Copies of this chain bind each other. A is one copy, B any other.
Amino acid sequence: MPPISFPSDPPAPLRLGVCYYPEQWPKARWREDARAMRALGLGTVRIAEFAWSRMEPAPGQFDWAWLDEAIDVLAGEGLSVVLGTPTAAPPQWLVEAHPDVLPVGADGRVKPFGARRHYCFSSPSLAEATRRIVTAMARRYGAHPAVVAWQTDNEYGCHDTTLSYSPAALAAFRRWLRARYETVERMNEAWGTAFWGLQFLGFEQVGFPVGQPTSPLPAHALDFRRFASDEVVRYNRLQVELIRAHAPGRPVLHNFMGLFAEFDHHACGADLDIAAWDSYPLGHVDTAATFLTEAERQQWARTGHPDMTAFHHDLYRGIGRGRMWVMEQQAGPVNWADWNALPLPGMVRAWTWEAFAHGAELVSYFRWRQLPFGQEQMHSGLNRPDGALDDGGREAAQVGAEIGRLLAAGDAASLAMRPAAVALVMDYPSLWMAQIQPQGKDMAGFGPMLAYYGALRRLGLDVDIVAPDASLAGYALVVLPGTLHLDEALVERLRASTAVVVAGPRTGSKTDRLAIAEPLPPGPLREWLPVRVRAVESMRPGRTLAIDAGAHGHGVGLQWRDLIELDAGDAADGQDVRVLARYEDGAPAWLARGRFHLHAGHVDTDLLLRWVDAAAREAGLSPLAPEALAPGLRLRRRGQWLFAIHRGPQPAVVPVPPGAIPLLGGATLPPGGVGIWHLSD
């Protein structure tokens, strides 16, 4: 994969859009809706991604009339269209004729028609029907001047549908294994079936890694995760190729989700032109039970967490190799979290500006108007079910006007994204490994990633989130936030880099077969840090260990620690390992050697901030003082502009650099406030 590239001439930056479902509203309303969109400042409309049964009401019989008209009405008002392929909603005729389309749960039960995403990625019948509908659609609209981009499917994997336990999936898994290992002996060797005498007789005797009396072989489970991820990638590529064949020059994207890692988004994104994602800041706070405390979930209930949304912007900008859209932007309360708060006044605007600050080319609100029936009837939109403009709609209009002010003050080129000085590595297979072998019940998921990201952001630093195989050239600081597996490509790039490297606990601990790295963790990192993890300890919530980091403060360790043993001859090249902090029992908690830092455990938020600050300074960066940003205040630079977004409960003073010229907001931002300054450099 090439390094992240930032198109020098991004097409129409800072556009606004909306998601619209003409098939759900009377035709009589379409034109009026299109006019109102335009009037509100929206330029792009995504449509059609659940309308398969309307486009192809019976097998091979297509009804394009309504969609022709819908596109023409939108185009007639000067709106651009993003067309979604409708495969997330297979029609009932398909599943009745081909029941193998339906996915099967881990409990062995078929998931029937009646909602959405009722398909198994491995179904041959699905592939055939997909080929037919996507080809027909792309042929019809591929050259339509108003259709400026294509979305494949909708939110792959949503509702626990990445993994399917169907006969088709089993057959495909076995083929996948045969292709990977060629002989069952090699598979047995790779999986370590010497343990518990688990030799498999042949590929046809391999089952799903589920339902056994206790957990299956870790490598068996990991290969199934890899296979399932590959199936998503393969299915997406099928659609991308069909679209590209008939829609030349139109970028293809997919709308990924937040807090979701069931398949390798880097691999999927490699086939796309743009990585889009669906941003629901409040829903994500409500559901993020694994790494937010209950207090945090209450604190950020109406604003979203200060780092979680930005994290995803940076993540998907990396996955899109510089091109990122927000395909669905929360515009009011949602319906799908356990509790659904009302956004604080101003937050819809603030989320939009935050997306732009992090490089979004388009922010598209979900949805034009709240639909009074169906599963999402309690999901708000820009307009209310009674047709009146809602709060979110008013804030969107405000952003539209503000974009005008910004573009008047500086051209699009002034907004071109520049690479950040800090790279955070995101590796999907490492997340699967942590789920399969957590060793501590709370050790799987986005927690460690967000902890490091949050520390960097609280220091005012901009961050690129990069794939393990991305170039690290140009970065001053590289963070490996507990990346369990370091592949050779990444190691090679670490070698080539001159960056200061910070590795979190568990980094380099596993091979690609989900075995312990040899001779011991941190595995490949030992090239720079001649230490061994002689043992690991996971800690129940509530158990902590005091840590003394000398000049870098005091704090506590929690959740996890790697017990570090220094190699006997570690000073061979004259550079001793420095132990910068120790646990109360003397075990090293933070070590460094040359430009490499190792954190031997999870520590409290404030202590981590101090450690990251030290590494950043060592990297030659100028992080803000730890207290410079009030709680909930974050900064982001884009081109020659500085953006500030404030979510805290109290007004906050922005540490504006000298000479910056204010465009929007003042030096003190209210809760939900946005500030924009032109930088003097």
Listed in ascending order, the chain A residues whose CB lies under 8 Å from chain B are 23-24, 50-54, 57, 86, 89, 91-93, 96, 103, 107-118, 158-161, 191-192, 194-201, 205, 207-209, 211-220, 286, 294, 297-298, 301, 332-333, 335, 338-342, 370-378, 380, 384-388, 390-391, 437, 439-441, 513-516, 518-520, 532, 534-540, 542-543, 563
Contacts and interface: CB of A to CB of B under 8 A. Distances in A.
17 contacts: A50-B196, A107-B107, A107-B109, A113-B198, A113-B212, A116-B213, A118-B212, A158-B213, A160-B213, A195-B371, A294-B542, A301-B540, A341-B537, A341-B538, A380-B535, A386-B532, A391-B535
A563 B332 CA distance: 12
Contact of A543 (B57, B220, B298): B298
Contacts of A294: 540, 542
Contact of A340 (B117, B196, B387, B439): B439
A516 B341 CA distance: 19
Given A89-B196, A201-B96, A372 B212 contact: no
Contacts of A298: 540, 542-543
Residue from the set A192, A294, A372 with the largest chain B CB neighbour count within 10 Å: A372
A386 B520 contact: yes
Contacts of A341: 537-540, 543
Contact of A218 (B108, B377, B387): B377
B390 A534 contact: yes
Nearest to A372: B516
A437 B538 contact: no
A372 B103 contact: no
A374 B114 contact: no
B115 A213 contact: yes
A373 to B, nearest CB: 3
A385 B519 contact: yes
Contacts of A335: 437, 439
Contact of A386 (B212, B342, B519): B519
A301 to B, nearest CB: 6
A583 B332 CA distance: 19
A351 B582 CA distance: 28
Contact of A333 (B110, B114, B380, B536): B536
Given A301-B540, A339-B543, A385-B518, 11 more contacts: A52-B197, A91-B197, A110-B211, A113-B207, A115-B196, A115-B198, A118-B213, A195-B376, A196-B374, A333-B536, A339-B540
Contact of A116 (B53, B196, B516): B196
